[in-house]
Amino acid sequence: MSQLKVVLIGAGKRAENIFIPILEQLSSYCSLVGVMSRTEEKVAYFGRKYNIPWFTDLEKLVNQTKPDIAIITTSRDQHLEPFLKLADMGVSLLVETPLAETREDMELMLNVKKEKDIYVEVVEQYFRYPRMQLIKKILSEGIIGIPQLVFSVSVAHGYHGLSLLRNIVGFDRKPISVSAHEQNFEVMNHIWRKGYPLRNTENWQHGMITYDSGQSGVYHYSSLTYGSPMRQNRRDNPFLIYGMQGMIMNDSINYIDQLSTNHNVKMKRNNVVKNNLDITNAMSIGGSINLEWENPLRHLELDDDLLSIALCLKNLIEAVQGQGCLDYGMFNAYIDRRTELALEESWHNNNSSLSLDWGHWFDK
């Protein structure tokens, strides 16, 4: 297959720190042919720095570069306008998370997508991390049985954490009710993240999500998760899956067989360091189970953070080329963002339980 042409919408930190290195590594799959931002000084600097054509007008960008895919890296409240224009011009899209700020914007985007012959993926990367990829294989083999209750404890925030829960119970599951609690606590005044103001409070968010399958997810998130030295690295935080015949806690799998014999196995990470990047080649479990997830981009220089997003873009590229379907898509992004909005509504209304009315959106 020939390379697809990609453009960036937005010339900020996400475009530069995330997508530029990913696009450089995926040069056999696609080529970056342009960047657009309304801020001329910023986009001109960006274009000259990376030697790519730059634009302040979206129509000129599309007319001159003829892109197959546009990556919208703007802030969430600025997704709608470029989405509508690019969809109308027949360009497939990769949209940063969340899909949009409001329910109304998301539903408008979904309705527009129905009328267009394009693909739209959203940069929901957390379920694409290597450990989560192996967990999905474990679940598909039925080793711990059907997952009934899933806990995400400050593993990821908001819609990211909620997508992780639904990835485990199944993306075809419908959230039907939520109840939430939010509370602030005083902590020692400290440097939370370099370059940010000192913090002396911690905001805790808690949510219980019930799905139409009878399964449940428990979401916890601390505002100090990303960077505070008083909290452990989020990668070490508990992620628990309770199944009908076993459980998974982070890298440990505990289950019973037909004779009620207990088995406990550990995930193993096969990695290599290239140019100071810690690269995952594969994740596996041995012992009484023999399963492996092999990184399809292990030949490239991508750490797990970049890899998870690169796999998202690769998935979109292959869908556009007719080589597969999207793993996530904008409808799942809509579900997870709407669930997050419902949690916010719950904790702003005395932590009341709320039912989710999906109307026609789950109709086949």
Q: Is residue 250 part of a domain?
A: yes
Q: Is residue 313 part of a domain?
A: no
Indicate if 114 and 137 belong to the same structural domain: no
Q: Is residue 316 part of a domain?
A: no
Tell me which of 287 and 270 has the higher pLDDT: 270
Mean pLDDT computed over every residue of the chain: 95
| pLDDT(163) > 70 | yes
Q: Is residue 131 part of a domain?
A: yes
Q: Is residue 330 part of a domain?
A: no
- Final residue in a domain of this structure, among 90, 118, 146: 118
| pLDDT(226) > 90 | no
| Residue 123 identity | V
In contact, 21 and 306? CB cutoff 8 Å:
yes
Indicate if 137 and 238 belong to the same structural domain: yes
Indicate if 149 and 103 belong to the same structural domain: no
Structure pTM?
0.95
Q: d(Cα 153, Cα 231) in Å, to the nearest integer?
A: 12
- Final residue in a domain of this structure, among 300, 332, 348: 300
Residue 233, φ and ψ in degrees, nearest 5: -55, 135
Indicate if 141 and 289 belong to the same structural domain: yes
Q: What share of the chain is helix, strand, coil (3-state, %, to 5)?
A: 35, 30, 35
For residue 103, the SS3 value is: helix
- Final residue in a domain of this structure, among 272, 300, 328: 300
In contact, 98 and 135? CB cutoff 8 Å:
no
Indicate if 162 and 143 belong to the same structural domain: yes
pLDDT tens digits along 321-334: 999 999 999 999 99
The CATH number for 295's domain is 3.30.360
Tokens describing residue 183: 């509370």
The 3-state secondary structure of 116-184, one letter per residue? CCCCEEECCCHHHCHHHHHHHHHHHCCCCCCEEEEEEECCCCHHHHHHHHHHHHCCCCCEEEEEEEEEE
Tokens describing residue 100: 């949009």
In contact, 152 and 217? CB cutoff 8 Å:
yes
Closest CA to 170 of 127, 202, 208, 129: 127
pLDDT tens digits along 251-278: 999 999 988 999 999 999 999 999 999 9
Instruction: Evaluate the CA torsion angle 234, 237, 243, 245 in order and state its sign.
Output: positive
Q: Which pLDDT value is given to residue 176?
A: 97
Indicate if 168 and 282 belong to the same structural domain: yes
User: To the nearest whole percent, how much of the chain has pLDDT over 70?
Assistant: 99
Closest CA to 169 of 188, 199, 144: 144
Give the domain range for residue 48: 4-118
Indicate if 194 and 86 belong to the same structural domain: no
Quick count: other Cβ atoms within 10 Å of Cβ 168?
25
Closest CA to 328 of 87, 15, 95, 70: 95
Indicate if 78 and 157 belong to the same structural domain: no
The number of distinct structural domains making up the chain is: 2
Q: 236: pLDDT confidence band, cut at 50, 70 and 90? A: confident
Peptide bond into 296 cis (omega under 30): no
pLDDT tens digits along 28-75: 999 999 999 999 999 999 999 999 999 999 999 999 999 999 999 999
